[in-house]
Amino acid sequence: MSFKIAIASGKGGTGKTSISVCLQHFIKNQLTDKIQLVDCDVEEPNDLLFFPNAKKKKAHKLTQLVPVIDKSKCTFCRKCADYCEFNAISIIPSASIVHVNSNLCHSCGACLVACEHDAIKETELPIGQINFYQEENHIKLIEGELKIGSAMQTMVIKELKKYVDTANKIILYDAPPGTSCPVVETISDVDFIILVSEPTPFGLHDLKLMVELIKELNKPFSVIINKVGLGNHDIYDYLKLEQIDILGEIPFTQNFATQYAKGELLNNIPEDISDEFEKITNRLKKEIYA
Ligand code: SF4
Ligand code: SF4
């Protein structure tokens, strides 16, 4: 059985991607090479940027089934719209208008069942793809890539997770930022969540939202404070009050930020940062092998 860890943050720009990539690197070196990184940030997958030797092995196209209404058969009875829980169908009998909003459609098929006039068929719409990258003879990174203009983030993530190689001991999900449905889909089946935050007022605000969400899902979690040295002490006061564990603290250094910007995150990692990731990996070991 794989141990699944999600790395998440309540907002973008906290360093979630750099922490995901570094954790993959340190876990591989310290614990096991049976680890796979899964980039679930499907609107903007960029973990790949930090693996210059990874080769794309294959891609799997994803499509969504959406209904198409044949106006010549439609009686404008509105039954399909009433059946649709997602308000994806608009029927305006007085103007003879039928419209399916594919961005709202969840491909549940209820409207097809509802229609008694055989006026609805389904068609396939592309929503993105899953990319598989190999390095050192195994698929170490898979990513979901949402088609530009599609709003089917959650569906792409759900499909992406079907392709995770559970022969690996550890699966790391780099979650999308925020607290909406794509995040819930990402973290719903994981064994442990790492919340990445920064010691700023915005960072603390979004961390609190994430903590509320995770408490509702009843998942074990811990926090990595990134960019330590910026901001203020409020985040520490909050974590102490809420009795939330700090898994690690990554100091802010200009050099590391520059390396990130150049896609050279794993080259010459500064010693203080390297030491902290080694400690984090050791603490995670207790969760993974408990
Ligand atoms: S397939 Fe489901 S979600 Fe999509 S339009 Fe029909 S009823 Fe609505
Ligand atoms: S249920 Fe069928 S006939 Fe009625 S409005 Fe929808 S598509 Fe038209």
Instruction: Give 192-243 pLDDT, tens digit per residue.
Output: 999 999 998 888 999 999 999 999 999 999 999 998 888 788 999 999 999 9
Which has the higher per-residue pLDDT, 208 or 178? 208
Which residue from 64, 100, 105 has its CB within 8 A of the most atoms of ligand 1, so it is best to mutate?
Answer: 105
Sketch out the chain's domains with CATH numbers.
Answer: 3-62+128-288 (3.40.50.300), 64-126 (3.30.70.20)
- Give the residue, out of 107, 113, 122, with the most ligand 1 atoms within 8 A of its beta carbon, to mutate for a pocket test: 107
Q: What is the phi-psi region of residue 246: left when phi exceeds 0, alpha when psi lies from -120 to 50, beta otherwise?
A: beta
Q: How confident is the model at residue 135 (pLDDT cuts 50, 70, 90)?
A: confident
Q: How far is CA 237 from CA 32, 232, 234, 247, in A?
A: 35, 10, 5, 16
Whose CA is closest to atom 8 on ligand 1?
A: 84
CA angle 68, 180, 58 (to 5 degrees): 65
pLDDT of residue 265: 73
Residue 137: which pLDDT band, with cuts at 50, 70 and 90? Answer: low
Burial class (CB in 10 A: 0-12, 13-18, 19+), 122: middle
Which residues surround ligand 1 with Cβ inside 6 Å?
67, 83-84, 86, 88-89, 100, 105-111
Give dist(CA 170, CA 1) in Å, integer.
9
Would you say how long the chain is, in residues?
290
Q: What is the pLDDT of residues 37-63, one digit of tens each?
A: 999 999 999 999 888 888 899 999 999
pLDDT at residue 112 greater than cutoff 80:
yes
Answer for the pair 247, 194: CB distance below 8 angstroms, yes or no: yes
Determine contact, residues 131/49, Cβ cutoff 8 Å: no
Question: Cα 225 vs. chain centroid, distance in angstroms?
Answer: 19
